Amino acid sequence: MKKNRLLAALLTAAVILGSCGSSDSSSGTSETAPADKEATETTASAEDKPASEENAPTEFIPEAKNTQELILEVDTDPSHRDKRFVETADYAQLKETYKDKFYFGCAVSERVMGNNEYTELTVAQFNSYTAENAMKPDSGLDWKTAAKNPEFYKEHAPVNFNRFKNCLDYAQAHNMKVRGHTLVWHSQTPEEFFHVNYDKTSAFCDKELMLKRMENYIKDVLEWTNANYPGLIYAWDVVNEAIDDGSGMRKQSNWYKVVGEDFVAKAFEYARKYAAPGVKLFYNDYNAYQARKQRDILKVIKPIAEAGNLDGVGMQSHLGLYLNPNDFMKAVKKYHDELGCEIHITELDVGNDKKKVDDWEKKQADFMTRFFTALQKTIDEGVPVTSVTIWGLTDDMSWRQNEGALLFEMDLTKKPAFDAIIEAKK
């Protein structure tokens, strides 16, 4: 059936034409450590004048600077097809294949949202959407406006929801539920947010002020998303990557430096206070299967679970062939045993350590067979793994760009790893 492409929403933020992350993958036994690199994104300009106290702005919709098509309806007419891409309509569907087990999700970039063929494949395969970058704190926190009137905005930075809106419109139009990623993180959060007067040359805020800023940001995001898209977001990564690899809290985090170690508990307390009933609150981290890191994560989040403020653990899963999937599943089970919570696999990719592995595609596929077989067994034993997200669509757009880490090639050809996941379904 012929459908029309709908020219839609105007993006105010600069469009990221490609993934700018780079893999720090180290060989050995460790999950690939996420790049700490800040994405280069432009904060949308906002109004100069603060509103009155009663209606302090939490949303600015300034005039659009850049425009991009947001593909809200897929054009399936073969004669309109961009010839750089292969036909994908006959691929089996991950979301359909695993629908009795878990949501099958993808991290979606703004580049994908502006392209018909990427969108066609994304919405055919996935029923869960994570914004790869566009719903992180630096997408919304409008510190530039705050810095123009720092007394007025002292405790409550304005939030610009334009990029959030694009993501949520897109997910809603394509019947994908959303994992919110992420509210509190040391990375992709403006440095200015942590400083007096939103001026990074000034001192850090004191703890009390920082907690007010944190609470107001969490409140704004949770209330705005619920008011405008009720029921669309099923889970939030409330805190991301607060724990270091084997040495307790991540001490270099601004959140740790300014608030101290209870910033994690505080974030969950605020998230519970403002989240709509049914929205699940997750702690998300990489290397979350490793014994020492798991011990440190559990130490921090167990009291939060006991206080009733945590619903799940997100295991990012930026993996390599060194990992035995059965060991990973033991860690999955341990989270459930200790916390009684759900588990999401939130950022799965399996890379080849920068092309150092021969016969990569076959080995990646074999890994996926073992991983998805072990995962289903774990679920069948009663462990609620309710969502699995692949961290990106095509290899060239991955943050592990040179590692062949995803399921589709640049021209959308499916890789053996894709077939392996489909065939692993019992």
In whole angstroms, how close is the CB of 32 to ligand 9MR at the nearest point? 8
In whole angstroms, how close is the CB of 306 to ligand 9MR at the nearest point? 26
DSSP-derived 3-state class of residue 394: strand
Nearer to ligand 9MR, 220 or 347 (CB): 347
Q: How far apart are CA 199 and CA 288, in angstroms?
A: 35
Type of residue at 188: Q
Nearer to ligand 9MR, 188 or 376 (CB): 188
Type of residue at 310: L
Residue number closest to ligand 9MR, CB atom: 34
Q: How far apart are CA 145 and CA 198, in angstroms?
A: 9
Nearer to ligand 9MR, 19 or 309 (CB): 19
DSSP-derived 3-state class of residue 360: helix
In angstroms, the Cα distances linking 87 to 45, 91, 396, 411 are 40, 9, 18, 9
In whole angstroms, how close is the CB of 402 to ligand 9MR at the nearest point? 14
In whole angstroms, how close is the CB of 132 to ligand 9MR at the nearest point? 5
In whole angstroms, how close is the CB of 98 to ligand 9MR at the nearest point? 22
Number of H helices, E strands in the chain: 13, 9
The binding site for ligand 9MR (CB under 6 A) comprises 19-21, 34-35, 37, 39, 132-133, 187-188, 240, 316, 347, 399
Strand segments (E) across 54-191: 103-108, 128-131, 177-185
DSSP-derived 3-state class of residue 85: coil
Chain centroid to CA 43: 19
Among 31, 117, 269, 347, which one carries the catalytic annotation? 347
DSSP-derived 3-state class of residue 88: coil
Nearer to ligand 9MR, 193 or 399 (CB): 399
DSSP-derived 3-state class of residue 251: coil
Mode of pairing for the β-strands spanning 318-319 and 342-350: parallel
Is 241 among the catalytic positions?
Answer: yes
Among 31, 110, 132, 241, which one carries the catalytic annotation? 241
Nearer to ligand 9MR, 131 or 357 (CB): 131
Is 69 among the catalytic positions?
Answer: no
In whole angstroms, how close is the CB of 343 to ligand 9MR at the nearest point? 16
Helix (H) or strand (E) holding 342: strand 342-350
356 Cβ partners below 8 Å, 6+ apart? 27
Nearer to ligand 9MR, 315 or 420 (CB): 315
Chain centroid to CA 153: 28
Q: Report the catalytic residues.
A: 241, 347
